[in-house]
Amino acid sequence: MKKLIIIVTLLISGFVSAQTNYDKGMQKAFELWSTNQAIEASNLFERIATAEPDNWLPLYYAAQINITSSFGERDEQKLSAKLKKAQNLINDATAISKENPEILVLQALLHTAWVAFDGATYGMTLSGKVVELYTKANMLAPKNPRVVYCKAEWDIGGAKYFGQDTTPFCKDLQRSLELFANFKPETVFHPNWGADRVKMLLESCEK
């Protein structure tokens, strides 16, 4: 009996230690990201993903860093390298967590980065894919604030491009802000970003 207690104690200690290492690693990666050390943060998320092969979150954040840093990039080779890497990470995350609205939104943002870089070249081929991704994400999680907000921002961009009224989509932004107020992420590390961006976009709507 004593041996059994020792074995169980060791197993529990090992589990707690593993969880602690994951928590510390994720916290460190977010700290790096928040202090503009995006490359270091992405690399750390990738290392965590290697140690956590059944966890989609580190892959998700490594992909997100590459996608968000690609907006405004004018060097096509650098852009292509970032987005190709992000796509591989998204593919790996999707293999772990299929039908995941958060990953679908990230995939839509990746396509959006290409459209933002060169709308004339990529708009025709990728716009439909973006709409499909948001439609699917909305079917899976209609109350997810990122699904509503990111689709609204995409729609606003399209409306401005074609000289159309953005008011209906500004209402969607407002609805997403209400969803953010009630959104509870599954864990402290699950996606919970976007509310600040929505507030900024709403200020533009009011002008």
CATH code given to domain 1-99? 1.25.40
Which of 207, 198, 192 is CA-nearest to residue 57?
Answer: 192
**CA 76/CA 66 separation, integer angstroms:** 14
pLDDT for residue 203? 92
Q: Domain spans of the chain?
A: 1-99
- Which among 37, 78, 35, 33 is positioned nearest to 58, based on CA atoms? 33
| pLDDT reported for residue 38 | 95
Cβ neighbours of 110 (radius 10 Å): 25
pLDDT at 82: 97
Taking only the tens of pLDDT, the chain with its 207 residues reads: 444 444 444 444 444 445 679 999 999 999 999 999 999 999 999 999 999 999 999 999 999 999 999 999 999 999 999 999 999 999 999 999 999 999 999 999 999 999 999 999 999 999 999 999 999 999 999 999 999 999 999 999 999 888 899 999 999 999 999 999 999 999 999 999 999 999 999 998 977
The residues, any chain, with a CB within 8 Å of residue 33's CB and separated by 6 or more, are 41, 61, 65
Q: Within the chain, what is the greatest distance between any pair of CA atoms?
A: 76
Model's pTM, two decimal places? Answer: 0.89
